[in-house]
Structure 1
Amino acid sequence: MDLPFSVLRIDHVVFRVRDLQRSIAFYRDVLGCGLVRQRADLGLAHLRAGASMIDLVDVHGRLGARGGDAPGAAARNVDHLCLRIEPFDEAALVAHLQRHGCTPEGPAERNFGAEGDGPSLYFADPDGNAIELKGAADA
């Protein structure tokens, strides 16, 4: 298979939560994840999980409101899956995704991840799940 990139690892996973502070405490105290960055304006917390990140999005915050109801039996809980890829050639990635019927949001954004700020493209899988392809952090 001729792809314009290689998946290196999962960069981060994003969970939608009802009580951001309670969830931060759980991931910190129970799992030993360290709080790396918090964005109160977005209702977002980034926690270190080994080489990866776990992001927590408050369902009542600016980012969380876009996903609908709070997590539960009938609500979406996982916001998106992020895959760290290399190389990050935006034009090649967009062309590849479009050949496979995917419409990436674009142009690429600079987002925070396990390695720091870097380029990202978002698109949906066939079931509507959000996928993020993330390039290397800024040097």
Structure 2
Amino acid sequence: MKAGISGLNHVTLAVADVERSLAFYRDVLGCAVRAVWADGAYLEAGSLWLCLSRDENTRSSPHPDYSHIAFSVPDVDYVALSERVTAEATVWKENKSEGASTYFLDPDGHKLEIHLGALETRLAHYRENPAKGVRVFDN
């Protein structure tokens, strides 16, 4: 078998103001704070290790492409979290995909999403809707 990656280790986001971003990820998204220092912080969201790193070159507007980070949310928490997020953040896209999603910006313009579903639910959606032209590969 060919060697390959085994999963996502961590995500580092460049931020202009560590305290502002820390408050957003902790108080709005519910991440657990694990470490803080003058120019950064480590947070935990489920199995995700998230690093906030102060960077003087942080952009002031979102990148124009579709790249974004999607976070999983338990079904029972989705509505409350989505309401909290939309009250505190700018929505950058309306959901048009399988599964409930809220697309929003963090304080530094990083494109984020909270999503209900998993890869298997998305693949099942495409199996049931072959007219979309998506080829699904089974292991």
Could you say which TM-score interval applies, normalised by the shorter chain?
0.3 to 0.5
Q: Which has the higher strand share?
A: 1
Bigger RCO (CA 8 Å, 6+ sep) = 1
Rg larger for: 2
TM-score by length of 2: 0.40
